[in-house]
Amino acid sequence: MSKYVIRPIPLEKSRGLTYKFTYLVGFGSPEERVAYTWYIEGSTENIIVDTGCESSGLVPQPIMFPFASKFEQIQSIQEGFGKVGLKPEDVDIVILTHMHEDHVQLARKYPKAKFVVQKAELEMARNPHPLQRWTYLEDPFNDINFEVIEGDKEIVNGVSVMLTPGHTPGGQSVIVETAKGKVVITGFCCIRRNFEPPPGLAMPVIPPGILLDAVEAYNSVLKVKEIADIVIPIHDSEFLAVDRIP
């Protein structure tokens, strides 16, 4: 299956400290974070990964992250989708990498979509552990059309999900077959440095800085690195000016 390309749609950004992404590495250095939705172009159904978010709907966490800047809107969801020839109302399938607020906030912008989510992730979102309560919306999403799955699954021919927990209990990475091999959209919050650690670090990957299980998160990052021909770290700013992948 080589017909697919991924179209990044950046919607919001902020600047904070690297430790949000790189566990125990790079404390104190600034890093730009971008929230995207990703359109998988080439299917008979309109498929996106994550819903994107609006800066006005994100809640700052000054106690947890006192050095984070204000959230900044890059473009509206209508503007972003217009650039790929769609409207949010056209979306048939939304694959949720996980349910932290910046990945699911705009769920109701896609009224006819089916939302593919891992069972463990939906359960956490509806009853979050105190360690992660600040990352989930206070919303049961009872009116959303979920397809609840457990583990790896093919969504359509050439697009599948792979369970990659650790950052959250039910994070899932999205594997897209393209003309240049497997492109993997990560199911956990990360940047390029998670996959390309600085010289001298005695491990091939760095787990996310926000997590439930450090070992599990490390193994998930490593698993993605090993199977992917192209990795898309879902918060890296490198895709701001990228029209399509590959």
Query: What CATH number has the domain bearing residue 163?
Result: 3.60.15.10
pLDDT at 227: 98
pLDDT at 131: 83
Note whether residue 161 is domain-resident: yes
Note whether residue 143 is domain-resident: yes
Q: Report the 10 Å Cβ neighbour count for 142.
A: 7
Residues 114/94, Cβ–Cβ less than 8 Å: yes
Reduce the DSSP state of residue 82 to 3 states and report it. Answer: helix
Note whether residue 246 is domain-resident: no
Note whether residue 87 is domain-resident: yes
Domain hosting residue 176, numbered range: 5-239
Note whether residue 160 is domain-resident: yes
- The Cα 91–Cα 81 span in angstroms is 10
* More confident of the two residues 161 and 71: 161
Q: How confident is the model at residue 26 (pLDDT cuts 50, 70, 90)?
A: confident
The rounded radius of gyration (Å) of the Cα atoms in the chain is 17
Note whether residue 245 is domain-resident: no
How many structural domains is the chain composed of?
1
Residues 40/245, Cβ–Cβ less than 8 Å: no
Specify the range with the lowest mean pLDDT, choosing from 17-21, 72-76, 175-179, 230-234: 17-21
Residue 75 sits at φ, ψ, to 5 deg, of -160, 165
Give the pairing of strands 153-156 and 181-185: unpaired
For the four alpha carbons of 48, 50, 51 and 55, in that order, the dihedral sign comes to negative
Note whether residue 244 is domain-resident: no
Residues 42/5, Cβ–Cβ less than 8 Å: yes
